[in-house]
């Protein structure tokens, strides 16, 4: 095969002539890996300035062009396609130093809307965390409201709020956030969830009572369940945290509830809570479904063996379960 410095005889549109080494080698084989393009062509096709292309090569090894005997850079079709991808990826915010060595498949994945949205969500969570760290109520409310509008109920709770709450817990455990930060965030999130649960409260629909038992002060999981259930068409009555089993049951009977959902966050496997759950089950109508969720719920399943209750592991499964029993109630 001739080298890139050879002169080629060409015939284009009936014209003939010779082509020098600094021109597009029109007669070269069409293998995408064959070097045949000059820097001028690369700049025109990628939109990148020659100085930037050279910097990406030198500092990050983005591409490795072929060198002619006169030390001119010559690029292949594959090189150009890669530079085009890198240009698009950097335009959406990825630093070249982090992406220069990625494969074409990995670069393409970074341009996928789902992947980009996941990265946007991480950024959104971090913005909310900064607002919490600064005790900036206005910024925090703005972050929460923006995410809720952009994502919809289930995605907002699962992809934004849950990761944010985990991040707060981890920061508190590492000592980078104070209990005051956790309380500040909990108040803002609680208020927002109550608003969300009331926005789409159905006029008609099966009734669900949601709350937490005596000694269970953490109510965010219960409120998240209330938002999901309301969005799914349930008429939700939220009875709040830290309520005795008998009172929750009385509430449910008065409202003729088809289901009662209890959030269990802490502690794990507590005998008193297990007893309260048994009392609640006995006091409810037989036709009323008892649903258990939250971080600590799995630790009570063995203790409650033989008790008619349903454990739901996460919010998407909760939504699926609601749709199932909602159909059976309507039938």
What is the pLDDT tens value at each position of the chain, 331 positions in all? 444 433 333 333 333 333 343 333 333 334 556 778 999 999 999 999 999 999 999 998 999 999 999 999 999 999 999 999 999 888 766 778 878 888 888 888 777 765 555 566 678 888 899 999 999 999 999 999 988 887 777 888 988 898 899 888 888 887 888 999 999 999 999 999 998 887 666 667 899 999 999 999 899 999 999 999 988 889 999 999 999 999 999 999 999 999 999 999 989 999 999 999 999 999 999 999 999 999 999 999 999 999 999 999 988 889 889 888 876 665 5
Q: Note whether 150 and 142 are within 8 A (CB).
A: no
Q: Could you give the CA distance from residue 75 to residue 62 in angstroms, rounded to a whole number?
A: 12
Among candidates 269, 280, 208, which has minimal Cα distance to 244?
280
Residues 275 and 304 in one domain: yes
Q: Element (H or E) spanning 329, and its range?
A: helix 315-330
Handedness of CA 125, 129, 132, 138 (dihedral sign): negative
Would you say 97 and 106 are in contact if contact means Cβ atoms under 8 Å apart? no
Taking the C-alpha atoms of residue 172 and residue 168, their distance in angstroms, rounded to an integer, is 6
Domain extent for 137:
113-199
Last residue of a domain, one of 168, 199, 230: 199
**Token pair belonging to 214:** 């005596």
As for how many domains the chain has, the answer is 3
pTM comes to 0.63
Domain boundary among 111, 141, 169: 111
19 located within any domain = yes
Looking at 111, 131, 165, the residue that finishes a domain is: 111
Do residue 120 and residue 89 come from a single domain?
Answer: no
List the 207-213 sheet strands across, edge first: 235-243, 207-213, 259-263, 289-293, 310-311
């Amino acid at each position: 095969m001739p080298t890139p410095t050879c002169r080629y005889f060409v015939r284009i549109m009936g014209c003939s002539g010779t082509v020098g080494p600094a021109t597009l080698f029109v007669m070269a084989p069409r293998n995408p890996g064959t070097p045949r393009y000059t820097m001028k062509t690369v700049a025109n096709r990628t939109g990148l300035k020659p100085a930037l292309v050279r910097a990406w090569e030198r500092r990050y090894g983005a591409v490795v062009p072929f060198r002619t005997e006169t030390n001119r850079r010559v690029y292949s079709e594959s090189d150009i396609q890669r530079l085009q991808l890198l240009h698009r990826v950097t335009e959406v915010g990825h630093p070249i130093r982090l992406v220069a060595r990625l494969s074409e498949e990995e670069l393409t994945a970074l341009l996928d809307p789902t992947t980009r949205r996941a990265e946007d969500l991480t950024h959104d969570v971090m913005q909310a965390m900064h607002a919490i760290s600064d005790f900036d109520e206005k910024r925090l409310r703005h972050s929460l409201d923006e995410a809720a509008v952009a994502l919809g109920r289930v995605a907002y709770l699962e992809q934004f709020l849950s990761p944010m709450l985990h991040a707060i817990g981890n920061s508190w455990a590492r000592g980078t956030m104070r209990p005051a930060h956790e309380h500040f965030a909990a108040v803002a999130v609680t208020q927002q969830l109550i608003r969300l649960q009331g926005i789409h409260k159905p006029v008609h629909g099966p009734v669900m009572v949601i709350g937490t038992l005596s000694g269970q002060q953490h109510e965010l999981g219960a409120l998240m369940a209330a938002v999901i259930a309301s969005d799914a068409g349930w008429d939700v009555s939220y009875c709040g945290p830290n309520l005795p089993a008998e009172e929750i049951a009385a509430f449910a009977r008065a409202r003729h509830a088809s289901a009662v959902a209890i959030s269990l966050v802490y502690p794990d496997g507590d005998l008193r809570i297990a007893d309260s759950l048994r009392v609640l089950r006995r006091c409810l109508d037989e036709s009323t479904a008892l649903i258990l969720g939250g971080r600590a719920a799995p630790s009570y399943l063995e203790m409650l063996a033989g008790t008619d209750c349903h454990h739901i592991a996460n919010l998407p499964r909760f939504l699926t379960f609601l749709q199932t029993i909602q159909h059976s109630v309507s039938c």
